[in-house]
Amino acid sequence: MLKDWRKEEKPDNEELSRRLEQARIQLAARQLAIKEKHLPVLVILEGWGAAGKGSVLGRVIRNMDPRFFKVDVGKEPSEEERRRPFLYRHFIKIPEAGKFAFLVGSWMKEITRGYVQRELDEEAYKNRLVSVQRFERQLTDNGYLVLKLFFHIGEKEQKKRLEELSENKSTKWRVTDADLDQNRNYKKWENVYDEYMEQTNQSSAPWYIIDSRSKKWAELQMLELMVQAIDTALMNPSRAVPLLQNRFPLEAIPQLSAISLQDKVLKEAQYREELKVCQKRLGELHNELYRKKIPVVIAYEGWDAAGKGGNIKRVAAALDPRGYEVHPIASPEPHEKARHYLWRFWTRLPKEGHIAIFDRTWYGRVMVERLEGFCSENDWQRAYNEINEFEKELADWGAVIVKFWVQIDKDTQLERFTLRQNTPEKQWKITDEDWRNREKWDAYEEAVNEMLQKTNTVYAPWCVLESNSKQYARIKALKTVIAAIEKKLKERV
């Protein structure tokens, strides 16, 4: 990118001022347009130290309405952030529909620095690039405008600026050792930036290089690029994108209809006994997880009245309350709905050593959202791969991932609905919606089967809990969680 980049000619001052004024007016108008059309705009500002990213952005936002944007300056990951998956601190910053997010120094900064400082070896670096390609592609596929700007200055110009900053007492603090090191090894950094940008230069989110020798001129380039990119994005109110072939290792899993339920029972006495043993063991393991900083994600999906709540309760009862959280997932709130559908799960990820239990999950995309038409066909069809990618990030991070489908048959559901209906203290648990969903049982079963087939990855497999007998299902859940944790602990040794 940098190596064959061709500078635009900087216009003369008169022309520059004229175009600046025009571009500011245009951007102001685009703010309202993106709000009206619900377009989320993510602007990434990367570039050389002392290239002026911050001050150019300062000029750009001076003419913007503060309600429409957020600015985030990329710092080194905090201790807290280091305890989450690499993409976590970036993903949670994506804007909501109709708003701008400006990120000054983002994942590019983090990855290139990590590579140069050898915190990332060749393989880890390549894996990061794959993560970034997926992340950015997921954003644009889901209707985000992702605008990637690289602020460029030459070696001499950078040196001059660093010297000027150093000489002035009030700006001296802004020159870091990293900046000086970068200038001393300019060629090396240029290669690293170049390679990174070539590898992440997707047609749906290309890189743009900003000639940053003059602030006004850099501001103009940024403004004009924003206006142009927004106009292009607004021409595509909804857009279907090619579905990608699965590249993750899948394991076969039986259809729901092939799972026998009647024989999966547990007598009360045996249940009591096993529950005690399992909970004790899980409690011990929770301690060990905490010490070894292993994160755990447990996902529950299943039919209404299948017994998810009671099941989760038995697992949670074994855990230290300081080290786990249960996330009940209902319909998304407006601020969640306004973002990528995985955002509200990214924000709820546990820290290393902690356990997050999701009562309903990201699989809503390929079940309720699919069947109720809350997203387009292309959206939910794409989601299998997006979810596999999401869980791959968790697996690569080192998480134990357990996904439960809590299974009952249709008759059992009817029994439980009827019981709830007829028991005053249980009536709150049954709604008209439950009855409506029940009418769509067959369509849901088809969707669940497709989901199980397409997301039963080796690194995040499904476990079906036969829950006509709730006791049986609870013990199986506990044993599955225990086995998954024990397996991970062995790998870690």
Q: How far is the CB of 4 from its own copies (least distance, A)?
A: 5
Return the number of the residue (99 or 392) whose C-beta is nearest its own copies.
Answer: 392
Q: Nearest distance from residue 57's CB to its own copies, in Å?
A: 19
For its own copies, the closer of residues 220 and 477 by Cβ is 220
Provide, rounded to whole angstroms, the least separation between the CB of residue 243 and its own copies. Answer: 6
Provide the token pair at 253.
């899993």
Residue 241 CB, shortest distance to its own copies, in Å, is 7
Positions in the binding site for its own copies (CB under 8 A): 1, 4-6, 8-9, 137, 141, 202-209, 228-229, 232-233, 235-236, 238-250, 252, 376, 378
**CA-to-CA separations, 346 to 78, 351, 459, in angstroms, rounded:** 17, 11, 18
Query: Is the CB of 218 or the CB of 285 nearer to its own copies?
Result: 218
| Cα separation of the two ends of the chain | 43
Minimum distance of its own copies from residue 340's CB (angstroms) = 16
Q: Do residues 326 and 287 make contact, with C-beta atoms less than 8 angstroms apart? A: no
CB of residue 239 to its own copies, shortest distance in Å? 6
- Between 7 and 169, whose beta carbon lies closer to its own copies? 7
C-alpha to C-alpha distance for 125 and 238, rounded to whole angstroms: 34
What's the min distance (Å) between Cβ of 259 and its own copies?
Answer: 18
Dist. CA 32–CA 362, nearest whole Å = 31
**Nearer Cβ to its own copies (124/165):** 124
Quote the least distance from Cβ 18 to its own copies, whole Å: 15
- Smaller CB distance to its own copies: residue 235 or 269? 235
Closer to its own copies by CB, 66 or 242: give it.
Answer: 242
- Residue nearer to its own copies on the CB measure, 48 or 248: 248
Cβ-based neighbour number of residue 432 at 10 Å? 7
| Residue 133 CB, nearest approach to its own copies (Å) | 9
- Between 169 and 247, CB nearer to its own copies: 247
